[in-house]
Chains A and B, each alone.
Chain A
Amino acid sequence: MDLFPLGWMHYLAGGLLLGAGMSLLFIGTGFIGGMSTVFTTVWSWFSKAPAFQEERIVASRKWRLVYAAGLVLGAAAWMLTLGESFVTQVPAWQLALGGFIAGFGARLSNGCTAGHGICGMASLQPPSILAVVIFLFTAMLTANLVKAFA
């Protein structure tokens, strides 16, 4: 069985760059660069609900938005230099429902693939490591079920 049918170098290089981004944020500002929190912080401008007005949410909402804008710019820079545009064929209902459940779950868990998967694991935190094991398991289960029945 071929573990990497599409090659492996771009995966590793991409991962190292991703880590470099997290590291630059930390070295420059001291911030921890999880990604899902931005979805909560943007609501702080629109909703008075207490969860959106917590100090840590309001205090980080500006840099998180800049960080997210950087994500779009960085990906666009890749498209204009090494890569090309790509449009997914995953059905809209999967994108919508999956996005909703992932957004709810990541915020309940206070972390996603970036927050728990990279930041939490890189700081050797047992709850994050366990969270990664759990979400990898449920994600694999779900993806295989969808593949079998869809």
Chain B
Amino acid sequence: MKPATFIFALAAGALFGFGLALSTMVKPEVVLAFLTFKDMGLLLVLGGAMAVTFLAYQFAPRLLGKPLAGDKFLVHPSEMSARTLGGAALFGIGWGLCGVCPGPAIAGLGVGNWPLLISLAGLLAGAYVQGRFFGR
């Protein structure tokens, strides 16, 4: 890995993690309060994140041509399929049960929320079973 790639990935992750902590998404209780309609804050988190990312995805390729320290801007097309939609339904069930999604499961460790290690183990186990037995 090029040093610049390392630095960009680490800095981007740090901003992401700081944002997750500031928005209190590292507290499953807050996520569950959203999912049970007690606090609509998560919509602002999602909306704010989406708006900024939308601008970057739209304008960076046009203005820069290629990434500052990379070869090309990647695209990651999602496919309209039973896997995508069925997987999303399952993901929601798990998320609604624990209030922890992948980003906060990792970032939460940074604020000392150690029980999230249990969710992290669950996420890793779920990803293993998916890849091992239900990969393409």
Contact = CB atoms under 8 A, between A and B. Distances in A.
Interface string A94-111: 111111111111111111
Provide the main secondary structure of the chain B interface.
helix
Interface in B105-132: 105-116, 118-132
B9 A67 contact: yes
Given A29-B8, A86-B112, A130-B85, A19 B35 contact: no
Interface in A67-121: 67-79, 82-90, 92, 94-121
Provide the main secondary structure of the chain A interface.
helix
Interface residues of B, number: 120
Contact of A23 (B14, B53, B92): B53
Contacts of B90: 101-102, 104-105, 108-109, 138
B62 interface: no
Contacts of A31: 9, 70, 74
A144 to B, nearest CB: 6
Interface of B: 1, 4-30, 32, 35-42, 44-57, 60, 64, 66-81, 83-103, 105-116, 118-132, 134-136
Interface of A: 3-6, 8, 10-36, 38-40, 42-43, 47, 49-52, 62-64, 66-79, 82-90, 92, 94-128, 130-132, 134-144, 146-147
